[in-house]
Each structure stands twice: as C-alpha cells, then as structure tokens.
Amino acid sequence: MDFRLLPTSKEILESTSPELYPNIIKGEYPDVDTYLDIHYTLQREDFIRPIREGLAAFRKAPDNGKNSNSLRIFHNVQFSKINRVSHELGIDVLFNIDDCIDEDWENSKRFMRGSLLIFTKDDFKTVIMGTVLQHNPAQLRRGCVTVQLNDVSHCSVEKSVHRYTMVEPDTYFLPYSQVMKVLLSLSERSFPFRNEIIYAYKGGYEIEYIDQSTRFELPWGAFAPAQEIDRYLTARDMCLNESQFKALTAALTKRLVLIQGPPGTGKTHVGTKIVEILLLNSKIWNRNNETPLLVVCATNHTLDQFLERLLPLTDRVVRVGDQSKSEKLIPYNLNTILRNEEGRQNQPASMRISYKTMMQQWNRIEKLQQFRDKVGPALNERHKYEQETLLQEKDYYERVQAFKEVQQEKGLEKLQEALIVGMTTTCAAQMNSVLQKLRSPIVVVEEAAEVLEAHIIASLTQYCKHLILIGDHQQLRPSTAHPYLSEKCHLEVSLFERLVNNGVPYQMLKTQHRMRPDIACLLTPVFYSVLENHPCTLNREPVRGMKKNMFFMSHSFHEKEHKATHGYSNMFEATFIITLCQHLLRQGYRASDIVILSMYIQQVRLLKQLQSKEKELSSLAITSVDNFQGQESPIILLSLVRNNKGTIGFLRTSNRTCVALSRARNGLYIFGNIELLASQSSVWEKLKDVLTKQGAVGPGLPVVCSTHLTSNAADLYRIGNLSSCPNCS
C-alpha cells in the first residue's frame, strides 16, 4: 500500500471541505495537468467526504449508536500480534464480535481486502490508519482481522495495553487508492488518447497499426483491405443486423470507437465478433507475439461472461483476479497457471532464492516475538525488542519487494504468452505497472458507461493504439460514494457519456431481441429515439394466469422510512408480490422464471424475509435493480416502494428507471403510485401516458385462472384471493 494515498487526519477531521472544480462534461480541458488535478481531487474527496461527515456526526453524539450511514464504529479494540498474510506484514486486531453478531462473513462486504480502518485511543486527537490485508471469514468469526498500519511500526503497538476505537468506512478504499496512484503517475507525455479525452477532438483518427497496404483476413480465409473491410464483408457473413455490422466495421477501422447498446441489442455479441476478426489478424497488431489484446469490464460477472464467449475463438486467454465465479475459466486464471508452474518446480532460480531469503527474515521476526513473550512487559527489554523488530521489519519489507518483482516478472511472462488478457477496472488500476510492460495495443472496455472516467484512464497505457468502448449511457451511470460529487461535480458522468456529449461519433445498436413489443414500447421514445423489435420478440405466448403481459398496479399504501440506513420499504407491495409469485407458480411457472426487483435495498431485505416463510419460493431471485443490470428474466415483478405526499428520491433518475423497465422478456408487472411518480418526474409522466394508452395501469391487477379461463381483479382489498376461481377447489 502506498501510504501517501491514505487520508490525513486533517482531511477527515476538519469541518470544511476543500474547494472542488467539477468535471468538465462539455468542451475541452485546458491541459493534461488540469484534467489530472481535477479527477484526482474528485476521487479523493468522494472517498473522504462520507468519512468526514460520519465522524463529525459521531463525535457530536457518540451515544446515538455504533453505526452511521457511512461508518461502522467498534469500541474497545485491541492490537494483538504481528502476522503475515500473502507475504505482507500486518498486525492482528481484536474486536468485539457482538458488534456484528448477525454478519454473514462469507458474503459480507465488511473488512474486505484493501478496506481502510481508522484507530484512535484519545477521541481522534491522534489517529492510526491502516488497510485490511485479508478477508478471512474464519478469522472474522473469532473477532480478528489482520491490518497493515501506516506511520506506525507494528511492533510499537503489538500487545498494546491501550484500547482503541476503530472506524470502518462503508466506502471501499482499494479502487480509489489504485486509481489515484495511477493518476499521480501520468503526465502530458504518457497520457493516453490525449486529443480525444482532454481536447474533445471529434474527428476519427485512423488506427496506427494499419495503413492502405494492410489486409485483414476474413473468417472464410479470404483477405481484404483493412480500411475498406465493409466492402468485402457483409452483415450476413458475420450473423449481425445492419446496426451491429456498422458498429463492427467502425471498431475495425477507427482508433477510438463508442458503441451504444440499448437493452437487448446484443452489445456483447457485437464485442465478440469484433474480437473474432481482431484475433484472425493478430499478427498485424501483435507483431512480437507478446502484446495481447486487453479486455476490461466493470464487474467480475460481466468479465466472466465476455471471456467465456471468447474461449471458442482461442485458448490463449488469461483471466486476472481471484473473484471469478466461472468454472470454465479456472484453467485460464493467472493464479491457477502460476500455481501449476510451481507444482512443476520450474520456477526461475531468482524466485526460489528471493523466496528463501524472505522466509528467513520472517523467521527472525517470529523469534523476536517469542523472545518478547518470554521477557514480559519490562520497559528496558521492551524498548530493545521494539528497536530490533523495527529493523527486522524494514529488512523484511525490502525482501518482500524483491520477491514481488520477481513474481511480477513471472506473471508478466504468462500474460505475454496470451492473445487475450481479461481483468476488471479495479484490477487494471492495481496492475498498471504490469500493463505498462505488457504494452497492449488494443483495449476493449465492456460496461464502459458504468465506470467512473478516472477508472477507465487507469486501465489504459500510452501504448494503447486502439480503444473500443462498449456501453449505454442511457442505462446505469457510475456510482459515487457521496451525492454532492454526482450532483455538483458531475463525477457520475462517464468518459463514454462525456465523449458522446462532446460530439464524438458513436454507433448505436438499434434492434432489440429481448422484450415483447408491449414491454419495449416503454423505452421508445421515452429513452431511445429508435429501437426496433426483432422478429423473435413477436407472437410469444401470453403470460399464463394474467390478462396483461405488462401492467402497472397503482396504489396508495405508504412506504416506511428506515432512518438509520436512509432506506425505504413498502409492506403492501412486498406482501402482494409474494402472493403474485405463488399465483404464477400455480400456473405452471418455475421459480427460476421469475425475478423480483426493487429500487431499494430495504425492500429487497423485506421481500427476502417474506420469501423465507414460503418453501416453494426458496429458489426465487430477489435483488436490486442496480445488481441486475445486464441480466434478464422471463417475468419481472418490480417494486418501486415510494408512496408518500410528494417525494420519489432517485426514482427520478431516468437511467435507473430505464434499466428497471428493460429486464423482462415476456411479462413485466410494476407496483407503485403512478400519480405520485408522474407529478414528480417528466419521464414517469411520459410513461404514464404510454401505460394509459395500452390500458396497462390501474388499481387492480387483472389475473385469470389459466385452467378455467375465468377472470378476477386482484385489487387492493382482496390480496388473499389473488387466484380465486369458482371452478378451482
């Protein structure tokens, strides 16, 4: 960890925030230095501001509870003994497990590797900061976490008699720290795509590695001039529609390409086809056979999906990072490859020697710990112990660094042997020094409109000659830790969206393959000017047990506010939706055919509580809209929750609404207060008009018995009789 990146005591404790300059979302930046300064400051403030506000509230009223909306507070914390995790030195910190008795440590986001922790023994007159070295569920269940401290030697606080207050911010520090580190390293000379990103150049530079003499190989073995590939290749040849084909040819001939993929338009399919042609012609851009194409995604889930689609094209794939859930990618994971190398005992001599000297130094530190435990707390002996251990710590750090450099070189060799290297944006920022050596000339970014701009920049190097950004700025924007940074500083505007706003040409995919037309009509023209329906969306079987395939059930049952978490839930909606699920199962649907979505985490938790009481619903998926971006389901039940006298919160956000309404293939059923929504949002006002014209909004949900074809309006007062049919026993 580069401890320069940690917040200072002044930054987290001062009452005023620094002066901030917003992201320039229209027009050009004056120069690279201004750009870097603005984005570095905004990244830093986005992480620090919630801590500053949370600590101010806690210090003002420390008895109001252990946790705030942005911090978790632990009292009577103690430093225990020096420990080693993945060759890094840290210290075990003991905390009261009763403070988190119900925590599911296997799936918890608490104490993640790289999380920031703040310690104080004197009400923040002095503070110690550190980062978590490992998320170990077994260790955490015992009330212990290993932390690497800054500005303080681990031996100086080991077995300390002092009790500390420990603060864990909700915001995850690791991505911020890695991105800030890269921003600090960039300069005018090394900044990638300077003309387009800094100076808002709208023209289309040609790709540097192709010229008029370059010929691309086509899938059937023929060759064509690379700059005129659209004359020799057709949409049918590539199994694409016309808008997809235009995106493909643009991606193969322009050095910076933006591809907008509205819901269900097949942007990942197009991305796969682009990579297919590039792989056929790898000798052109990978002339030394050691500069692979780099695939970068915002999430591990999307990265796994994309790389799985590329495996039939080549087995020279390396997936970097340890958060993959894909069994297919296990043999291609860099850690797996390196472990297999270790098993064959063919590590270079330099690695074996470096590892041996590092472990010898750790053994010296362990012996000093044993000596300390024997002599007890005698001051003179303790001082001697601390001085000696401090020297040994410094020596150990130097040896760890030497070992890491050798290990990094070994990993780099494996990456250079690949044709495709895949990683998340966070991983790319962490490994930027490796990427500088890898020198990938082509970078493909999936979910590019969901990623903070600085995170894209941190994934690139000066050696990138061809950048393909695939995303949709009409769907979810990047998330920030503090709303001020989004609302006032435009930090939530992605690089993808900013380039579109500045007139950089982009290719839009125009044919959707997901939603039946009566659902797709909600998106056009409210969110998209054009969105055509593929024939596969037509003439589908109606949703069994329902009179309408899409319906908005409007009601006036009020929400419940959860002030501690700033969240909301709605018991009426939750109860009704669970009953509707049971009705759909009685029509022959499986639980896997249905997904329940909500805009609010508190509502997701309430729905899961009700689900746990119904055995037949145990496998039903219930999640937030944000977590379901990029996914789909035959039937979606959407709980909007908000129902009050005039506030709808982020239901005003058109991007999130677009995602929520576009996940369903065959059936979409929405629950909320349409009058409230329409009065607070122009987007919902337009949606209300569409729903009204279709006869798809009302106070009762029209259901039918699919066996006897009888009808029943499941209105607000007959929730228990949702499937009542006089012919059913």
Residue 26: which pLDDT band, with cuts at 50, 70 and 90? Answer: very high
Rounded CA-CA distance 90/77 in Å is 16
Concatenated DSSP letters for 349-367?
Answer: HHHHHHHHHHHHHHHHHHH
CA contacts within 13 A on the Cβ side of 71:
26
Domain boundary among 448, 483, 508: 508
Specify if 659 maps to a domain: yes
- The answer to whether 540 and 487 have CB atoms below 8 angstroms apart is no
Amino acid at 696: A
Give this prediction's pTM: 0.91
**Same domain, residue pair 521 and 502:** no
What one-character-per-residue DSSP string does 644-664 give? Answer: SSS--GGGG-HHHHHHHTTSE
Region of poorest pLDDT, from 56-65, 102-111, 221-230, 341-350: 341-350
Domain around 98? 71-169
The answer to whether residue 504 is domain-embedded is yes
Q: For 187-225, what is each residue's pLDDT tens digit?
A: 999 999 999 999 988 876 789 999 999 999 999 999 999
- Note the pLDDT tens digit of each residue in 226-258: 999 999 999 999 999 999 999 999 999 999 999
Q: Percentage of residues in the chain with pLDDT exceeding 90?
A: 74
Residue 351 and residue 361 in contact, taking contact as beta carbons nearer than 8 Å = no
Residue 35 reports pLDDT greater than 70: yes
Does residue 729 register a pLDDT over 50?
no
Mean pLDDT lowest among 370-384, 683-697, 712-726: 712-726
Distance CA 290, CA 7 (A): 39
Name the amino acid, one letter, at 51: I
Distance (Å, rounded) from C-alpha 440 to C-alpha 461?
Answer: 8
Question: Residue 647, CB half-sphere, CA atoms under 13 Å: how many?
Answer: 5
- What number of other Cβ atoms are within 10 A of residue 448's Cβ? 28
Alpha helices in 186-236 (DSSP H): 194-197
At 287, is the pLDDT very low, low, confident or very high (cuts 50, 70, 90)?
A: confident
- Mean pLDDT, all residues of the chain: 90
| Helical pair 349-375 and 379-416, crossing angle rounded to 10 deg | 160
85 close to 133: Cβ distance less than 8 angstroms:
yes
CATH assignment at residue 128: 2.40.30
CATH code of residue 255: 3.40.50.300
Residues 504 and 523 in one domain: no
Asked whether residue 51 is domain-assigned, the answer is no
Structure tokens at 434: 């490796």
Average pLDDT estimate for 580-593: 94
Kindly state whether residues 497 and 522 are assigned to the same domain.
no
In this predicted structure, the answer to whether residue 559 has a pLDDT above a threshold of 50 is yes
Exposure letters 234-269 (e unless 16+ CB within 10 A, then b): ebeebebbebbbbbbbbbbbbbbbbbbbbbbbbbbb
pLDDT digits (tens, 9 = 90+) for 388-406: 777 777 788 787 788 778 8
* 151, 232: one domain: no
Please tell me the number of Cα atoms within 13 Å of 48 on its side-chain side: 22
Task: Show which of 385, 413, 441 is a domain's final residue.
Answer: 413
Number of domains in the chain: 4
Has residue 197 been placed in a domain?
Answer: yes
pLDDT digits (tens, 9 = 90+) for 604-630: 999 999 999 999 999 999 999 999 988
Whether 119 and 78 share a structural domain: yes
For the segment 331-340, the average pLDDT, to the nearest whole number, is 91
* DSSP H or E run through 256: strand 256-260
Q: Which two tokens stand for residue 102?
A: 């119900």
- Pair 318, 215 in one domain: yes
- With CA atoms as reference, report the closest residue to 495 among 475, 477, 510, 507: 477
Confidence of residue 369 (pLDDT cuts 50, 70, 90): confident
The pLDDT assigned to 194 comes to 94
